[in-house]
Amino acid sequence: MGDVTIALDEIIAGRVPGQRSQPSHHRFIITIFGLYARPAGRGLRVSDVVTLMSELGYEPASVRSSISRLKKKGVLVSTKVDGAVGYALAEELEAHMIAGDERIFSPKVQNAGDPWLMVSYTVPETQRKLRQKIRTGLAQLGFGTVVAGLSIAPSHLRAEVTEYMTKHELLDFVDFFSSMPLGPGDMQQKVARWWDLDGLESHYQEFVDVYRDSVDEWSQSTSTDQVTLRTAFNLYLPMLTHWRRLPYLDPGLPLEYLPDGWMGIRARQIFIELHRYLAPLAERYVQRVTA
């Protein structure tokens, strides 16, 4: 149980806000395995991972060190790939990776008339570390805070939060409720109070600033030579790694309750278009490297 919860924490922690610099080694490595070594348990040769990471500017020694750390945390497990040393995602993580795929590529959006999921939690003072674990997990999954001990999110997060509480043996301290707003007060104002929308919009704006010019460039590209494939991989992997935390900061809040001109709409359009252009090319490059 311990290794699985540490592994889940490692993957989820890669999505927390506050770090605007280029993602660290392990986030890129997790993206590589999440894209090209699925379902979990399918292996990649270490040499191939080193080659792919070298395209992003990382030294082999640093990559091997990061892989070792991810193995110690239970994210990766040792395996053999065609007789060579390799690694794979821990098979226990596949359900979580599937949930992540849905958030990233097929996100659900709460409608204004849908019920909300409320999570109430009470933890004895002698177990305050568990309270922090609950609070941190809810925040990382995209819950807003109503008051201390009471969090709120779109109802479609029920399965994910239940899995988190189950894996961390926290179910005895939480209660789930389905709730409909009855007023008084404006829900748009309340959503802005429960979630840090300004901070979220700044993350969306950052994504737009970095990648918007690439859409026109790749929409006009028709080449499939090796240089193009490599270039597509070099853009796609960091772009997806940058994006994959955003659907966890924004759990699919109703558009009616978000500010006018919400930058998340533009950011998702850019992600969808670049994913459509780059993903097939990047996958072909990885197939050539790993063949």
| pLDDT score for 176 | 98
> Considering the domain 114-179 in this protein, what is its CATH number?
3.30.70.240
Phi, psi at 131, each rounded to 5°: -60, -45
pTM attached to this predicted model: 0.89
d(CA 91, CA 68): 17
CA–CA dist 276, 265 (Å, integer): 17
What is the reported pLDDT for 41? 93
**CATH 3.30.70.240 intervals, the chain:** 114-179
Q: Supply the pLDDT for residue 183.
A: 76
pLDDT-based confidence at 4, cuts 50/70/90?
low
Please write the tens of the pLDDT for every residue from 217-251.
999 888 999 999 999 999 999 999 999 989 988 99
Q: Tokens 């994910």 belong to which residue?
A: 160
CATH T-level assignment (fold) for domain 2-94: Arc Repressor Mutant, subunit A (1.10.10)
Residue type for 77, please? V
1-5, 82-86, 182-186: range with highest mean pLDDT:
82-86
Nearest to 291 by CA among 27, 54, 44, 89: 44
Asked whether residue 254 carries a pLDDT value surpassing 70, the answer given is: yes
Q: How far is residue 94's CA from residue 243's CA, in Å, rounded to a whole number?
A: 20
Please tell me the distance from the alpha carbon of residue 276 to that of residue 262, in angstroms, as a whole number: 23
> What average pLDDT does this structure show over 187-197?
95
| Averaged pLDDT for residues 69-81 | 92
- What integer pLDDT is reported at residue 20 of this predicted model? 42
Helical H segments across the chain, by residue range: 2-13, 25-36, 46-55, 60-72, 94-105, 128-140, 158-167, 187-194, 197-219, 226-243, 246-249, 263-290
Exposed/middle/buried for 87, CB within 10 Å: 0-12, 13-18, 19+?
A: buried
Measured in whole angstroms, how far is the alpha carbon of residue 70 from the centre of its chain? 16
Question: Tens digit of pLDDT for each residue in 20-60?
Answer: 443 467 889 999 999 999 999 999 999 999 999 999 999 99
Sheet holding 44-45, edge to edge: 44-45, 84-89, 76-81
Q: Mean pLDDT of all residues in the chain?
A: 91
Q: How far apart are CA 240 and CA 35, in angstroms?
A: 10
pLDDT, one tens digit per residue, over 110-163 is 999 999 999 999 999 899 899 999 999 999 899 999 999 999 999 999 999 998
> What residue has token string 């900061």?
249
CA 224 vs. chain centroid, Å, equals 29
Looking at residue 14, what is its pLDDT? 55
Distance between CA atoms of 197 and 133, rounded to whole angstroms? Answer: 23
pLDDT at 19: 46
- CB-CB contact of 59 with 237 (8 Å): no
pLDDT of 267 strictly over 70: yes
Exposed/middle/buried for 226, CB within 10 Å: 0-12, 13-18, 19+?
Answer: exposed
CB of 26 closer than 8 Å to CB of 236:
no
